[in-house]
Amino acid sequence: MTAVAQHKTVLDVEKVRKDFPILSRKVNGKPLVYFDNAASSQKPQSVIDATNKYYSFENANIHRGVHTLSQEATSAYEVVREKVRAFINADKSHEIIFTKGTTDSINLVAFSIGRTNVNEGDEVLISAMEHHSNIVPWQMVCEEKKATLKVIPINDDGELMMDEFRKLLSKKTKIVAVTHISNSLGTVNPVKEIIAAAHEKGIPVLIDGAQAIHHTTVDVKELDCDFYAFSAHKMYGPTGVGVLYGKEELLNAIPPYQGGGDMIKTVTFEKTTYNELPHKFEAGTPNIAGGIAFGAAIDYINSLGFENISAYEHELTEYALQELKTVPGIKFIGNAKERASVISFLLDNIHPYDAGVILDKMGIAVRTGHHCTQPLMDRFRIPGTVRASFAFYNTKEEVDVLVKGLHKVIDMFK
């Protein structure tokens, strides 16, 4: 007993919950149980305050004015770039490109690499568990360049088939783009191994980190990935802000994605020379308030510490799996050995939509549907799943509420 107790995490969940104002609200008359963190996480007061403070006292455009406000805003924004660099252990802060989010980051790479490196007959390699935002941009590039999109298959537990992956790497492969953690199955992919195997053949790798960045320490140098994409809104930060990490030499080698202000050195009607990294990829006025609030989100995560976050989320996920197993007729979709705090399931032949509507009435927010991974749902021949995804502010008591809710759902539909 004491031995177990000693291994319990040091995260004070009750205290942490108080940092998130939304968690005390009611939905349909019931205390909110927010289990849709994989779609977007909630925001701590410090992030909300940072946005507020920026607009109240600091607002000005960045990288342009000589006046004090503009310079202050510029440094506040650039401080965040440095925070992100340190957060993912990148070499240089100009390897951090601010974008609108993961989708935007992937599109940037797809279209820039697509324009220069992908030609007729080439191949782009993704996996069967990708989010639509790591499928469609590549499909568009392939269509335009008459290249082929190849897909790494998965097994019935929802794990990548690594032997098949190795077979799919060829001279024609121009880039590999895979997700670090599956948003539908919770599978943690062996990205380090994937990157090493691709690099042996000289192929660059993009990792979609949207579901990983807030759960575990990501070290881009250790991974040796060429690109890493993620969104602030899934890491307790604001919407409309994201990051593309890219290795300097690759970012220098590919053309800009969008044209406009900030990304240029000189413009004449004959020719424009592009600005240096990171500005080359940051056309137009960015989401400055969002960027600054993103910095507050990183501070918040750092203040809790990934060691504590990961340990607690792991404990909570194990508890949820154990409790959910007692629900009659439950079938888990995705049983990977390495998994994150995302649990997808079906209840006998109850449609996920039906379950979602009833759970919502009880104040429980889960996601139902295909989770923007339609090809993956087709692979399992299901219309979708019910997905519960946890953050460090969720509790075992909330898991119990979900389990009770599911019993009610079964009752109502039997």
Partner 1 sequence: MATIKEIEETIVEEFGYYDDWMGKYEYIIELGKSLPLVDEKYKTEENLIKGCQSRVWLYAELEGDKIIYTADSDAIITKGIIGLLIRVLSHQTPDDIINTNLSFIDRIGLKEHLSPTRSNGLVSMIKQMKLYALALKTKML
Ligand X SMILES: Cc1ncc(COP(=O)(O)O)c(C=O)c1O
Which residues of the shown chain bind partner 1 in the complex (CB under 8 A)? 28, 350-354, 356-358, 361, 368-369, 383-384, 412-413
Please report how close the Cβ of residue 311 comes to partner 1 at its closest, in angstroms.
Answer: 35
The secondary structure of the chain, three-state, reads CHHHHHHCCCCCHHHHHHCCHHHHCEECCEECEECECCCCCCCCHHHHHHHHHHHHHHCCCCCCCCCHHHHHHHHHHHHHHHHHHHHHCCCCHHHEEEECCHHHHHHHHHHHHHHHHCCCCCEEEEECCCCHHHCHHHHHHHHHHCCEEEEECECCCCCECHHHHHHHCCCCEEEEEEECECCCCCEECCHHHHHHHHHHCCCCEEEECCCCCCCCCCCHHHHCCCEEEEEHHHHCCCCCCEEEEECHHHHHHCCCCCCCCCCEEEECCCCEEECCCCHHHCCCCCCHHHHHHHHHHHHHHHHHCHHHHHHHHHHHHHHHHHHHCCCCCEEECCCCCCECCEEEEEECCECHHHHHHHHHHCCEECEEECCCCHHHHHHCCCCCEEEEECCCCCCHHHHHHHHHHHHHHHHHHC
From ligand X, partner 1, none, interface partner of 353 (C-beta below 5 to 8 A by class): partner 1
Q: Other C-beta atoms within 10 Å of 194: how many?
A: 25
From ligand X, partner 1, none, interface partner of 286 (C-beta below 5 to 8 A by class): none
- Residue 37 touching ligand X (CB under 6 A): no
Of the candidates 37, 41, 42, 102, which one interacts with ligand X according to CB under 6 A? Answer: 102
Residue of 125, 372, 388, 410 marked active site: 372
Binding to ligand X (CB under 6 A): which residues in 273-302?
none
**Residue 176 or 358 having the CB closest to partner 1:** 358
**Residue 145 or 180 having the CB closest to ligand X:** 180
From ligand X, partner 1, none, interface partner of 102 (C-beta below 5 to 8 A by class): ligand X
d(CA 125, CA 111): 15
- 104 with 287: CB under 8 angstroms? no
- 186 with 202: CB under 8 angstroms? no
Look up residue 221 and give its two tokens.
């140098």
Please report how close the Cβ of residue 384 comes to partner 1 at its closest, in angstroms.
Answer: 7
Of the candidates 231, 341, 368, 389, which one interacts with ligand X according to CB under 6 A? Answer: 231
Measuring CA to CA, how many Å separate 378 from each of 150, 246, 312, 388? 17, 32, 33, 20
Please report how close the Cβ of residue 366 comes to ligand X at its closest, in angstroms.
Answer: 14
From ligand X, partner 1, none, interface partner of 133 (C-beta below 5 to 8 A by class): ligand X
From ligand X, partner 1, none, interface partner of 240 (C-beta below 5 to 8 A by class): none
From partner 1, ligand X, none, interface partner of 28 (C-beta below 5 to 8 A by class): partner 1
225 is catalytic: no
- Residue 127 touching ligand X (CB under 6 A): no
- Residue 183 touching ligand X (CB under 6 A): yes
From partner 1, ligand X, none, interface partner of 383 (C-beta below 5 to 8 A by class): partner 1
**Residue 53 or 132 having the CB closest to ligand X:** 132
Look up residue 16 and give its two tokens.
């942490």
Of the candidates 103, 368, 385, 395, which one interacts with ligand X according to CB under 6 A? Answer: 103
Binding to ligand X (CB under 6 A): which residues in 208-227?
208, 210-211
**Residue 51 or 389 having the CB closest to partner 1:** 389
**Residue 101 or 278 having the CB closest to ligand X:** 101
**Residue 190 or 383 having the CB closest to partner 1:** 383
Please report how close the Cβ of residue 170 comes to ligand X at its closest, in angstroms.
Answer: 25
**Residue 60 or 365 having the CB closest to ligand X:** 365
Of the candidates 94, 131, 150, 174, which one interacts with ligand X according to CB under 6 A? Answer: 131
Residues that bind ligand X (CB under 6 A): 39, 101-103, 131, 133-134, 179, 183, 208, 210-211, 231
What residues are labeled active site? 372
